[in-house]
Amino acid sequence: MEIRHIHYFIAVAENLSFTKAAQQLMIAQPPLSRQIKDLEDELGAVLFDRSPHGLHITPEGEAFLEYALRIMDLVKKSREHIAEMSRGLQGTLYIASVEGHAPRLLAKWIADYKTEHPHVDYSLRNGSTDDVIYWVTNGLSELGVITEPHNAEGLFSVPVYTEPWTALIPSSDPLAKAEGDSVSVSDLADRDLIIPSRESRLMEIKNWFPDKNIELHVCCRVAHMLNAYELARQGVGIAIYPASDSHFSGDPEVTIKKLVDPAVTASYILVWDRTHHLTHAAENFVRSICSAAGVPFPGH
C-alpha cells in the first residue's frame, strides 16, 4: 500500500464517483479504478459498492476512511515538521478581529511570536463580531478575536482579555461635569444612546438596568468605535463602548467614564473553527497565547 492509494481512495470516498474523483485528481478513470481495486485486493475487503444506481461506500470502506484521513493528516504534519526543522516555521496566518482592544492584543502576540518564528507572515482583517465569526467558520480566516456574547456553534474559544464598559459623554451633558470618573448605568435611562450594532448588544445593555422592561432611547447603532466617538463628540448622544476607547481621552468635547452599578465588563476571546484543521503555524501561535495566558489549549 502506498500513499497514492490512500490519496485516491479518499478522493473517491468524498466524491462517491470515479469520474469526479478522476477529474479532481487529474488522472484518467481506468487507472484510478485499478488503483482502488488493487487496494481492495490488498485489504481483502470491498470498499465500494458499485451498482447501476451509483457508488456507495461499504462499512469496511467507512472504517478504512477513518484510518486514511488520519494517515494523510500525519503525512502532512510530518512534511511540515521536517521542513520546519531545516527552514524554521513558515506560512501565512490569516487572523480576523473586532475593534476595541483586539488590535493591541494581536500586535503584542505577533511581536512576541515573530521573535521565535521570523518567517511567518500575517494577513489581518477587521470587522464586527458577526463578521469575524463568518470569516472563521467559512475558512476565510483561521483565527478570530471577538467579544462575547456570541451564539456561533462549533468554535473552540480561549479567554484572552477583559475590560470595563464606558460611557463617552458629550461635554454639554451634565453627566460630563459631575464629579468622579464613573457614571451609574441608571443615569443613562433617559439619555439618547449610541451603541454597537450587534442585536445581542442591545439585549445585553438592557439587562444592565434594574427594570428589565426598560425602553432605551437608542438613537444610533454603529459598527465602529470611531463612528461612536465622533457622534458623541458632536453631541448626538452618549456612546456606550468598551474602555479601549480611552485612547480618545484628552478631548475636551468628550468625557469618558466607567459604567458602575453594575460594573460591567467586555470579554475578548480567541476563536477558531472545530471542523477546520489549523496549520502548524496557527496551532503553535494559539499554543503560545494559551501558555502566556495560563490557560489550557482546547483539544481537537
- 222 falls within a domain: yes
How much is the pLDDT for 248? 62
Number of domains in the chain: 3
Contacts of residue 230, defined as CB under 8 A and 6 or more positions apart, other chains included, come to none
Contact 154, 242 (CB under 8 A): no
**Residue 157: its H or E element:** strand 155-170
Crossing angle for the helix pair 29-43 and 18-25, to the nearest 10 degrees: 110
pLDDT of 300 > 60? The answer is: no
Please tell me whether residues 168 and 220 are part of one structural domain: yes
Domain end position, chosen among 60, 87, 114: 87
Cell numbers describing residue 95: 487572523
Please tell me whether residues 106 and 194 are part of one structural domain: no
- 235 falls within a domain: yes
> Domain containing 213: what range?
164-266
Please tell me whether residues 69 and 14 are part of one structural domain: yes
Distance (Å) of CA 268 to CA 19, 32, 70, 292, 300: 47, 49, 33, 15, 21
Q: How confident is the model over 114-157, as pLDDT tens digits?
A: 998 888 999 999 988 889 999 999 888 999 999 887 777 789 99
b/e per residue 9-20 (b: at least 16 CB within 10 A): bbbbbebeebee
- 154 falls within a domain: yes
Contact 259, 182 (CB under 8 A): yes
| Proportion of the chain above pLDDT 90, given as a percent | 52
Domain end position, chosen among 87, 102, 134: 87
Cell numbers describing residue 48: 465500494
How much is the pLDDT for 223? 82
- 298 falls within a domain: no
Please tell me whether residues 230 and 105 are part of one structural domain: no
- 40 falls within a domain: yes
| Proportion of the chain above pLDDT 70, given as a percent | 95
Q: How confident is the model over 83-126, as pLDDT tens digits?
A: 665 566 678 899 999 988 899 999 999 999 999 888 899 999 99
- CATH of residue 285's domain is 3.40.190.10
